[in-house]
Chains A and B, each alone.
Chain A
Amino acid sequence: MYQPRILLALLLGLACQVGFAQQIDGTLKKVKETGVITLGIRESSFPLSYLDAEQKPVGYHIDICNRIADAVKAKLALGKLEVKHQAVTSQNRIPLVVNGTVDLECGSTTNNADRQKQVAFAPTTFVTNVRMAVKKASGIKDLDNLGGKPVATTTGTTSVQLMRSHEKGKNIDFKEVYGKDHADSFLMLETDRAVAFVMDDNLLAGLIASAKAPNDYAIVGTALSVEPIAIMLRKDDPQFKALVDDTVKTLAKSGELNKLYTKWFLLPIPPKGVNMNFQMSEPLKALMASPNDNPAETYKK
């Protein structure tokens, strides 16, 4: 089926000499055969990947994934590439990438060593710090102030384990309460079921920015953990991985990634025109200069 298309591509001079000398394999082969690439998106991971007022996926990682899709289209010399979106959750994102439902997961996934046994990651495009949101009126400044108090986090996230480890390490006894998603956990903070909500700081900033009274809340405390967040793809797919890596590295080197960061973190964003006002962290600045896909374990001191 695709022989004439390759010929056409060659005739048009769109294909690079090496690209088609080798057998196309893995995800690229699948995309070439179907003319479709499926992006896994999150519905409320501000501002990395979320739905705007028209229920269309937007965000920093969506922009990056669209650049990758463009690169795939150019590499395969496809006249038309359909980009499909599939909503994923923190529970099903890995299985959906592994079983081929999703080709690129453009959400807010921590790259860690355990996950690298199942999937591969693009070079890190965001670094998050796990901290806590509190009501300003509570006067809470750090986790050590939380003894005996209810503290919320979301089921099935790394924060649960971080909180429990911290509790053990410092001999503090909090009452953990668990929301089934970030919105539920924030509701617990909002309605005084919890005095703090421990989560990735960018997600907390997003939830606060869209809360009823954003000025009532603050993000406080030392970071429980520093985690690289990256776009996720299938493991053992060297051709696709190389293309994704090259695209992200080129974006970083050319300064375009920096521009995208500014667009989503330092300027007003849809749907409400809220400005996250979230300055780039030092680890991310370092990554922009020399991108890599090292797992979270390498960030621990």
Chain B
Amino acid sequence: MNYHWNWSIFFQTVPSGDETYLAWIIHGLGWTVAISLSAWVIALVLGSLIGTLRTAPNRKLALLGHAWVEFFRNVPILLQLFLWFFVVPELLPRDLSLWVKQEMPAKEFITAVIALGLFTSARVAEQVRAGIQSLPRGQMNAGLAIGFTVPQTYRYVLLPMAFRIIIPPLTSEFMNAFKNSGVAYAVGVWELIFVSRQMTEETGGQVIESLIVPTVLYILCAYGANRLMHVIEKRAHVPGFIVAK
């Protein structure tokens, strides 16, 4: 292949300012991490709640949890992002709609976090449900028998074990949050993929360099998430239950 390699582009100053492309990449990495972590907080909170609801004895609550999971899990993430960005603001009253579209600070970031957070919450919910259902039925009954209410049984008996059991699949979900955050470029968040595309354009087609660096950074982010979860898994482990070595 007749490719003209040029790794020095990262130290070139961008045509529209004083910073280098390396500074852009670091800035992009910052947004990628910010979107992923914020979305992960939403996903974990809502996912735990919805996953728990799905196993609840109350049928209406279980149905709500079911609908939530099926909607957010069955619609592609990019489409969900566009729904939040292009469609939802149109449903608001006119003044509020204009405010959201033009004035709202960090609107692209917020939209991306909501979209990714809810998408991931459905997946976390399924794992929480699986974790709870993997426990012997007797645990619920035991909790009720010693006088706990249903919420108390969840809080003190079921969830502490369920969460420990699902740490491995949650690790994958946490890593996915980083990888899926790339869709945010589509609504114009200045994150890694955005920077990569803009760099390719401005440097006259140094596409390989502009892709390799974000690739390595994504690997580092996802691997970092993996190691962090590994530490949590070891710290939280209960003797006698499955746990990573």
Complex Cα spacing A117 to B5, Å: 10
B136 at the A/B interface (Cβ < 8 Å)? no
Question: Would B204 and A236 count as touching, CB distance under 8 A?
Answer: no
Question: Would A187 and B86 count as touching, CB distance under 8 A?
Answer: yes
Question: Would A91 and B197 count as touching, CB distance under 8 A?
Answer: yes
Complex Cα spacing A161 to B197, Å: 12
CB-nearest residue of chain A to B189: A178
Chain B residues with Cβ below 8 Å from A147 are none
B233 at the A/B interface (Cβ < 8 Å)? no
Cβ-defined partner of B16 (8 Å) among A113, A164, A184, A191 = A164
Complex Cα spacing A98 to B206, Å: 11
Most chain B beta-carbon contacts within 10 A, residue among A94, A164, A193: A193
Say whether, besides A155-B185, A164-B16, A191-B101, A98 and B205 are in contact (CB < 8 Å).
yes
Chain A residues with Cβ below 8 Å from B198 are 155-156, 160-161
What 0/1 pattern do residues 168 to 205 of A give for CB contact below 8 A with B? 10000001111110001001000111010000000000
Complex Cα spacing A115 to B203, Å: 7
CB-nearest residue of chain A to B197: A156
Chain A residues with Cβ below 8 Å from B114 are none
Which A227-249 residues sit within 8 Å CB-CB of chain B?
234-236
A95 at the A/B interface (Cβ < 8 Å)? yes
Question: Would B194 and A193 count as touching, CB distance under 8 A?
Answer: no
| Interface class of chain A by DSSP | mixed
Cβ-defined partner of B101 (8 Å) among A113, A115, A192, A234 = A192
B201 at the A/B interface (Cβ < 8 Å)? yes
A150 at the A/B interface (Cβ < 8 Å)? yes
Question: Would A94 and B205 count as touching, CB distance under 8 A?
Answer: yes
Cβ-defined partner of A164 (8 Å) among B2, B17, B101 = B17
Complex Cα spacing A187 to B86, Å: 9
Complex Cα spacing A157 to B199, Å: 10
Which B5-40 residues sit within 8 Å CB-CB of chain A?
6, 14-17
Question: Would A165 and B16 count as touching, CB distance under 8 A?
Answer: yes
Say whether, besides A99-B1, A165-B15, A178-B194, A150 and B102 are in contact (CB < 8 Å).
yes
CB distance from B18 to the nearest CB of A (A): 9
Complex Cα spacing A136 to B209, Å: 42
Chain A residues with Cβ below 8 Å from B208 are 95
What 0/1 pattern do residues 192 to 214 of B give for CB contact below 8 A with A? 00100110111111111000000
Question: Would A115 and B102 count as touching, CB distance under 8 A?
Answer: no
Q: How many residues of A contact B (CB 8 A)?
A: 44
Say whether, besides A98-B3, A99-B1, A191 and B204 are in contact (CB < 8 Å).
no
Complex Cα spacing A92 to B200, Å: 9
B144 at the A/B interface (Cβ < 8 Å)? no
Question: Would B188 and A155 count as touching, CB distance under 8 A?
Answer: yes
Question: Would A94 and B207 count as touching, CB distance under 8 A?
Answer: yes
Chain B residues with Cβ below 8 Å from A91 are 197, 200-201, 207
B108 at the A/B interface (Cβ < 8 Å)? yes
A116 at the A/B interface (Cβ < 8 Å)? yes
| Interface class of chain B by DSSP | helix
B150 at the A/B interface (Cβ < 8 Å)? no
CB distance from A283 to the nearest CB of B (A): 21
Question: Would B16 and A95 count as touching, CB distance under 8 A?
Answer: no
B90 at the A/B interface (Cβ < 8 Å)? yes
Question: Would A156 and B1 count as touching, CB distance under 8 A?
Answer: no
What 0/1 pattern do residues 91 to 121 of B give for CB contact below 8 A with A? 0000000100110000010000000000000
B236 at the A/B interface (Cβ < 8 Å)? no
Complex Cα spacing A95 to B86, Å: 32
A149 at the A/B interface (Cβ < 8 Å)? yes
Say whether, besides A161-B14, A234-B2, A192 and B201 are in contact (CB < 8 Å).
no
Most chain A beta-carbon contacts within 10 A, residue among B14, B198, B208: B198
Chain B residues with Cβ below 8 Å from A129 are none
CB distance from A194 to the nearest CB of B (A): 8
Question: Would A157 and B201 count as touching, CB distance under 8 A?
Answer: yes
B137 at the A/B interface (Cβ < 8 Å)? no
In the A-B complex, the 7 residue pairs with the smallest Cβ-Cβ separation, listed nearest first, are A114-B204, A178-B188, A94-B205, A164-B16, A156-B197, A115-B204, A165-B16
- 9 of the cross-chain contacts (CB-CB < 8 Å) are A92-B207, A114-B204, A114-B205, A155-B197, A161-B198, A165-B16, A175-B102, A179-B188, A191-B86
* Further 18 A-B residue pairs, CB within 8 A, beyond A162-B16, A177-B188: A90-B201, A91-B201, A91-B207, A95-B207, A98-B2, A98-B3, A114-B204, A117-B204, A150-B101, A161-B202, A163-B16, A165-B16, A165-B17, A175-B102, A178-B187, A180-B186, A192-B101, A193-B101
